[in-house]
Amino acid sequence: MKKLSSPFTIVFKYGFPAFVLGLNGVGLVESFSGATRTIYLCTLFPLLALGLSLVCIPLKSVWIGNNVFIASNGLWKKEVPFSFISDVRTTKTYGKPGAYPFVSLQMNNRPLIDRYIVFFPSVEIRRDPKGNDEHIKELMKEYSQGVPAYPPQGVGSYDP
C-alpha cells in the first residue's frame, strides 16, 4: 500500500480553519475594546474562515492498494474500488509545477456529497513532470494487476 496524499493533510484539514477561527475570536474581543474597526473583523474573518473551511475540510488522506483506494478523514476509513472511479482530475495552477493543486477522484452513481475524494498529493507525485492525474492513472494500472484486496479489519467498504 502506498500513500498518495501529503503528510500535511491534517494540518490543512484542521489547522488552518482553526487558526482563522481563532483570529476571528481575537478580533471580536478586540472589537469590544473599540481599538479596531468592527466591520472588518465581523465580516472579513468569518468569510475567510468559512471559505477556508469549505476548501480544507473535505480533504482526505488517500492510499492506493491492490484494486482499491483507501480514503480516510481521520474518523473513518473506506475502501473505494478502482471500478467506482470514473475520472481523476487535478486543479490547474498558474504557479510553478509542484505547487499544491488538489487531486480529485470522481465517482459516478454516488450522492453529490459522496461523489468526490479530494486530497493534496504527496511531494513524490507533485514532482512528476507528467502531472498528478496522469501519475495516479499510471499507479492505478500498476496496482490493478495485483490480487484484489477486500476489507482488512477496521476498514469499511463502499457499496454501490
pLDDT in tens, 76-121: 888 888 888 888 888 766 655 556 678 888 887 776 667 888 888 8
Residue with C-alpha cell 480516510?
A: 72
Domain count of the fold of the chain:
2
What confidence score (pLDDT) does residue 37 get? 61
Q: Chain-wide mean pLDDT for the chain?
A: 75
Judge if 126 and 141 occupy the same domain.
yes
- Please state the rounded mean pLDDT for residues 139-150: 70
Judge if 82 and 115 occupy the same domain.
yes
Cβ proximity of 100 and 120 under 8 Å: yes
Judge if 141 and 92 occupy the same domain.
yes
Q: Which residue segment(s) compose the domain that 21 sits in?
A: 7-56
In Å, what is the CA distance from 127 to each residue of 16, 59, 62?
24, 20, 18
Judge if 81 and 111 occupy the same domain.
yes
Of the candidates 99, 122, 98, the one whose C-alpha atom is nearest the C-alpha of residue 5 is: 122
Model confidence at 153: pLDDT above 60: no
Cβ proximity of 124 and 138 under 8 Å: no
CATH code of the domain containing 65:
2.30.29
3-state secondary structure of 116: strand
What confidence score (pLDDT) does residue 160 get? 46
Residue 15 within a domain: yes
- Give per-residue pLDDT as tens, 46-81: 777 777 777 777 888 999 988 899 998 878 888 888
